[in-house]
Amino acid sequence: MENKGSIFCLKQSFSSVTRAKIKSEKKFGIKEDRFILCRNCGNKITSPKYVITVNGNHRHTFINPAGITYQIGCFSKAEGCLTMGEPTFEYTWFEGFKWNYSLCAKCYIHLGWFYQSDSESFYGLILEMLKDSSE
């Protein structure tokens, strides 16, 4: 684990996975009466009230098989996303969870991934692709 100020980031490669432990977390650094938007088109994606922690953190840093680093935030709901593709366990970052792509429902840009197990699900959204509605 790496400490970057007050943010703890979990660094993992595509070959290692973690059993996901999910809990609700109502912190995102913005007021709960605001929304979290697609940085590309401004579509309402989710809300701070849907922030959750997975494995003890809201934010995670991962490297995909192509060597691209992503910092994602975990959310229980993202109603402004479309989920695309066949769910797969291949290269999953969370053990026991299949994933497929999450796109903005308005502009179709890649915003992250939807993770699902037999009993739980969550969105892992690329934080640099999101913005606060007050921006």
CATH number reported for the structural domain that contains residue 68 in this entry:
2.170.150.20
Q: What burial letters (b/e) apply to 76-91, b meaning 16+ CB within 10 Å?
A: bebebbebeeeeeeee
Whether the Cβ atoms of residue 15 and residue 63 lie closer than 8 Å to each other: no
pLDDT tens for each residue of 98-129:
999 999 999 999 999 999 999 999 999 999 99
pLDDT in tens, 47-76: 999 999 999 999 999 999 999 999 999 999
Structural domain tally of the chain? 1
Range of the domain at 40: 2-132
Exposure string for 44-74, b = 16+ CB within 10 A, e = fewer:
ebbbbebbbbbbebbbbbbeeeeeeebebbb
CA distance 86 to 91: 14
Task: Average the pLDDT over 129-134 and give the result.
Answer: 89
Question: pLDDT higher for 8 or 128?
Answer: 128
Please tell me the predicted confidence (pLDDT) of residue 134.
77
